[in-house]
Amino acid sequence: MSQPVPSTPAPRQPDAVGPDYAAIKQRQQATWASGDFAVVGVTLQIVGESLAEAADIRAGERVIDIAAGNGNASLAAAHRFARVTSTDYVPGLLEKGRARAAAEGLQIDFREADAEALPFGDASFDVALSTFGVMFAPDQQRCAREMMRVLRPGGRIGLANWTAEGMIGQLFKTLGRYVAPPAGLSPPSLWGNEDYLRQLFGADAASIRCTRRIFNFRYASPAHWIQVFRDYYGPLHKAFAALDPDGQQALEADIAAMLQRFNVAGDASLVAPAEYLEAVIIKRLPEVLH
């Protein structure tokens, strides 16, 4: 094949085709809309309460809960008399959060929104929260930029993210052996790594404080946990649906073995500690020119 002459450079070809974020997001929406995440989600309420304390939520502050699911952090902020906007891209989950807020008499604004393209102006909020939510956004850098954009200077971001080493991180590692994740995506568990959060937010952060915490999954047995998650937790629900009977049996056996490794309750029940990273990030104030 002849080479172009120097005066007519060849058009630059892209190095590689990047992930199709729109298609991936569409599949993710279907995944999280499957089953009934709220059945699992309500058991995690204590994480939202702990995060609201870590982020020092105060009465009257404008708080956004991003990828809120059924609203654990939203309710926690509202319990502290903040002005809360709860967002998710799955309408059914917002309906679950809305019902919970109504049952408790809490005033929360529920809005359908994509974590990577939030429909709010710059500096609209004092605090941005997310419990096990934004970590699953396919375009992680864009999601981090959006969180910072809608936050006022000096405002706080509060995150709870599963670690790679913890039980849920190991669950997704197990699932990946049976159902391959989308090509080109960074694993969600990176959000559970302090160094990675510093890469994502460090340029705009005055400080980043991280603490490793434990949430205990408490179920009757490993089999009970598997049944609940298989029926209601979107990623597991979809993974089992994608496999033939032999694959389903093998996946169930692998998850049961993993749960048994984490179980600290012996044969009496299941108490499985799951590690997550709690992070509080303070947005840098603009520099004052003298």
Could you tell me how many residues make up the chain? 290
Structurally, the chain folds into a number of domains equal to: 1
pLDDT at 111: 98
pLDDT at 288: 64
pLDDT at 67: 97
pLDDT (tens digit per residue) in 133-175: 999 999 999 999 999 999 999 999 999 999 999 999 999 999 9
**Residue 182 lies inside a defined structural domain of this protein:** yes
Integer Cα distance of 10 and 18 in angstroms: 22
pLDDT at 181: 83
**Residue 38 lies inside a defined structural domain of this protein:** yes
pLDDT (tens digit per residue) in 58-100: 999 999 999 999 999 999 999 999 999 999 999 999 999 999 9
**Residue 4 lies inside a defined structural domain of this protein:** no
pLDDT bin (cut points 50, 70, 90) of residue 1 is very low
Beta pairing partners, 125: 151
26-35, 206-215, 253-262: lowest mean pLDDT where? 26-35
Cα separations in angstroms, 239 against 126, 170, 176, 247, 270: 38, 15, 9, 10, 22
**Residue 241 lies inside a defined structural domain of this protein:** no
pLDDT bin (cut points 50, 70, 90) of residue 9 is very low
pLDDT (tens digit per residue) in 99-120: 999 999 999 999 999 999 999 9
pTM given for the model: 0.90
Say whether 112 sits in a helix, a strand or coil.
Answer: strand
Integer Cα distance of 110 and 105 in angstroms: 14
**Residue 53 lies inside a defined structural domain of this protein:** yes
Decide if pLDDT at 276 tops 70.
yes
pLDDT bin (cut points 50, 70, 90) of residue 20 is confident
**Residue 261 lies inside a defined structural domain of this protein:** no
**Residue 20 lies inside a defined structural domain of this protein:** no
What's the CA dihedral at 41, 43, 167, 178 to 10 degrees?
-40
**Residue 97 lies inside a defined structural domain of this protein:** yes
Say whether 85 sits in a helix, a strand or coil.
Answer: strand
Domain CATH number, residue 69: 3.40.50.150
| Domain span at 62 | 25-219+273-283
Task: Name residue, tokens 């009757």.
Answer: 220
